[in-house]
Amino acid sequence: MRYGFVIDQTTCIGCHACTVACKTEHDVPLGVNRTWVKYVEKGAWPDTKRFFSVMRCNHCTDAPCVEICPTSALYKRRDGIVGFDTDRCIGCKSCMQACPYDALYIDPGEHTAQKCNYCAHRTDIGLQPACVVVCPEQAIVAGDLDDPTTRIAQMVATEKLSQRAVEQGTKPNLWYKGGHKANLDPLGAVDPGDGGIWQDPAASWLAVDLTPTNGSAATQTGGGYPNSAPNPNAAPGPKIVHEHRNAPARVVYNNRHPMPWGWRVSSYFLTKGIAAGLAIVMAMALLGGANIDTRWASWGAPLVAGLLLAATGVLLLWDLKRPDRFHYLLTKGNPGSWLVRGAWILSAYAAVLGLWFFMGVFSGGDAMSALVWIAAFIGLGVAGYTAFLFGQAEARDLWQNPILLWHMIAGAFAAGGGATLLAAFVFSIDDQPLVDAATWCLIGGAAALGLIALAELVSRHPTRNVAEAMHHMTKGRFAREWWLGGQLLGVVVPVVLGLIYAGNPDLDIVGAAAGIAAIAGIWFSDDAYVKAGQSVPLS
């Protein structure tokens, strides 16, 4: 048994009965929807057409939301329905990043994720989902895809249907009949920026002049469309020709989905990167002959790294919608989720740092060298596991780049080196092998970050989603943060100042400045990366 949907867009009238029925059946709050109708318009008045598409969970055969969910709150039923257990959700929002169909949202009352559950409580007793029952045009067809006698199975077998985001490999169980490409492709229509219908318009909507400039529809500005009435104040011009007839399709109504992850995730990248980098730098310093018995090597480095690891935990908790359930990561964890695996790695790193610190305070000895190397090895995992977590966020194509792992590790070297140089300046650490190791970790890590950024710029973008996200990051709304903050401050300045400091070791303040620049630049670069990945629409 495998339940699914067919949406017949040739008969859909955009009445929103399905949305209302869903809200009523599941007590869905205002501002969020389990199912909604997207409106797209083409052409210019009076030659316009409006297309409708019903959007919702696709109940995928290979559901990425199930794989990434850290507490198995999302699960696959034997009948193919992707179910949801509200009582297990910690509100991490990772499922929202994994779903290519924008089907999940955070319930403002429960503070947990929610989505269409195929009205499982009705289906289990032989009833149709509420949206199917109320549709006046019978445009929503539901049933068992594995039963050849059902209408849905026959439609899928015999009719020309289309699906959304099949390239993601999710094997969706929702098909569209007669669905317009501009509706089904999130990048197939533009957002005019005027707020659309039934929603708050753009702040400057009262100032938009909807009349054609000089009588020409082709030269209008301000996001409006040609008006039917002539402008009595316009200068004489040529006869109006509807040159917008072939203009791009535009979205006039859609569900709003804000970015699930923001600055706290970017900051968590940085804090765990520094925490990991401090152990890595200490291990490199031991190779260069650093003294393990100094205060910094014996207990200062693990203490600072532990504090930053604690800050990482605070940021993780802060970003959860249900922080009271944080312990579910360990007690109800899904071992296939990299959020859970990351929690294991962070816990192991915390244990080793604690042992390193207490041994340094109370006993010392050569055994600390072994702990430093163990901490450095686990530190590589602390720095890099997020790349695998982002790899499970199937909806964000920008984050699927395998080079992200090396970006994270290079960032740990640069941040660890920078933090060590800053500590050497503040606490007057007199250990030249340690300072040398930190300097070259900083220079090497920052240079590697620059080379990785260059590789991202010149490489071929495998999907339009990646190309759009790269545009937003390097030329669009996040370009200043990425170029000035990430590349100039985070790459060029640390490399230049680091080389100056390497040749002039007495200039401690230069080394400290290089460290501050590297740390700040890494945050700006990662923040732009996190936001750009979420800037491309999914519905």
Q: Answer yes or no: do 178 and 268 share one domain.
A: no
DSSP 8-state code for residue 285: H
In a domain, 272, yes or no: yes
DSSP H helices in 48-119:
64-68, 94-98
Q: b or e along 306-316 (b: 16 or more beta carbons within 10 Å of the residue's beta carbon)?
A: bebbebbbebb
N-terminal to C-terminal alpha carbon distance within the chain: 28
Domain boundary among 184, 207, 236: 184
pLDDT in tens, 284-327: 999 999 989 899 999 999 999 999 999 999 999 999 999 999 99
pTM: 0.89
Q: Answer yes or no: do 525 and 431 share one domain.
A: yes
Q: Answer yes or no: do 156 and 267 share one domain.
A: no
Q: Which residue has the tokens 């910094």?
A: 296
Q: Answer yes or no: do 312 and 430 share one domain.
A: yes
In a domain, 107, yes or no: yes
Domain of 425? 263-533
CATH number (domain holding residue 431): 1.20.1630.10
**So what's the pLDDT on residue 245?**
52
Ranges of the chain with pLDDT below 50: 202-244
**So what's the pLDDT on residue 45?**
79
Q: Answer yes or no: do 167 and 268 share one domain.
A: no
Q: How many separate domains does the chain show?
A: 2
In a domain, 248, yes or no: no
Q: Give the Cα separation of 116 and 366 in Å (integer).
A: 58
Pairing of strands 82-84, 250-253: unpaired
Closest residue by Cα to residue 97 from 65, 127, 137, 133: 65
In a domain, 200, yes or no: no
Going through 217-339 in order, the beta strands assigned E by DSSP cover 250-253
In a domain, 124, yes or no: yes
Domain boundary among 151, 184, 217: 184
Longest dimension (CA), the chain: 92
In a domain, 521, yes or no: yes
Domain boundary among 150, 166, 184: 184
Q: Answer yes or no: do 448 and 338 share one domain.
A: yes
CATH number (domain holding residue 89): 3.30.70.20
Q: Which residue has the tokens 């859970």?
A: 340
| Cβ atoms of residues 322 and 328 within 8 Å | no
Q: Answer yes or no: do 45 and 138 share one domain.
A: yes
Q: Answer yes or no: do 32 and 172 share one domain.
A: yes
**Cβ atoms < 10 Å from Cβ of 274:** 30
In a domain, 468, yes or no: yes
Q: Answer yes or no: do 428 and 337 share one domain.
A: yes
Q: Which residue has the tokens 């289990």?
A: 124
Q: Answer yes or no: do 293 and 404 share one domain.
A: yes
pLDDT in tens, 398-439: 999 999 999 999 999 999 999 999 999 999 888 999 999 999
Q: Answer yes or no: do 318 and 170 share one domain.
A: no
| Cβ atoms of residues 371 and 486 within 8 Å | no
In a domain, 454, yes or no: yes
Q: Answer yes or no: do 523 and 379 share one domain.
A: yes
pLDDT in tens, 474-521: 999 999 999 999 999 999 999 999 999 999 999 999 999 999 999 999
Q: Alpha carbon 451 to chain centroid distance?
A: 23
